[in-house]
Amino acid sequence: MSITQVSATKAFGGWHKQFSHQSDATSCEMRFAIFLPPQAQHQSVPVLYWLSGLTCTDENFMQKAAAFKVAAQLGIAIVAPDTSPRGDNVPDDDNHAYDFGLGAGFYLNATQPPFNQHYRMYDYVVNELPSVIEANFGVNQQRAISGHSMGGHGALSIAFKNLDKYSSVSAFSPICQPTTCPWGQKAFSGYLGQDKQSWLQYDSSALITQLTDSNKHIPALVDQGSDDNFLAEQLNPQALVAAAKTVNYPLELRIQPGYDHSYFFISSFIEDHLHFHAANFKA
């Protein structure tokens, strides 16, 4: 697949680059960013896939998370895709709402028209994007996945459905039970229709209860700020913890006192997450 470089900036001995390409999964042009640590110049390196939240693009994490220094030290590449398909022919919310349509793809495969033609971010993240990355850059097939808010939902639900593809998963302030919160109910109704049984395939708290084979479990780390203004209505990490306990899943939830939903929170603990993933990559 042909990719086109949009920008390149050196950082901590490595490179942050943006690329665009025509996506088969989303039937539109997609953009992603990649940080290649200096080690990628002479050896293959593992990859952390980062999924951002509502209203974000590939740029938010790369510019605000302060992840490059530690990623360079650990020899980890970071890939950040856009959060949804975009373009003149890609349908949006009629009122251009922030929580549905462009910038709010929810990392699922839509089944409802007109969104089912382009909103296939699950296929893009799980299958197409890794193929593009592994074919074009100095990386190996070791993958971890992480994300924030809507992207935390994406990271957890994708990992729980694909334990064989990732060595670990982490999330900041994830939407842990989207079938029961306003963000998730709006998105799932629009993308998946009114059959609520179909929603469960993208609900991390439901998915984790199906993971009964402990030999296939991968470590999971979740950080949540205690002063997050979305905590009570939208995020519900306690539901995920309760679900994990039913199958003895190795999930750690850390409530961080005083922190909110912002990138100040993410940048405060991203080093912990990078070390967590590094420890679970094969030597």
The catalytic residues are 149, 228, 261
CA 48 to the chain's CA centroid: 10
Q: Which of 202, 280, 217 is nearest to 247 (CA)?
A: 217
Q: Of how many residues is the chain composed? A: 283
Is 88 buried (19+), middle (13-18) or exposed (0-12) by CB count in 10 A? exposed
Neighbours of 215 (CB within 10 A): 5
DSSP for residue 103? T
Partner residues linked to 15 by β-bridges:
10, 36
245 vs 147: CA distance, rounded Å: 22
What is the DSSP code string of 207-249?
Answer: HGGG---GGG---EEEEEETT-TTIIIII-HHHHHHHHHHTT-
243 vs 204: CA distance, rounded Å: 9
The phi, psi pair for 115, rounded to 5°, reads -85, -20
149 vs 23: CA distance, rounded Å: 24
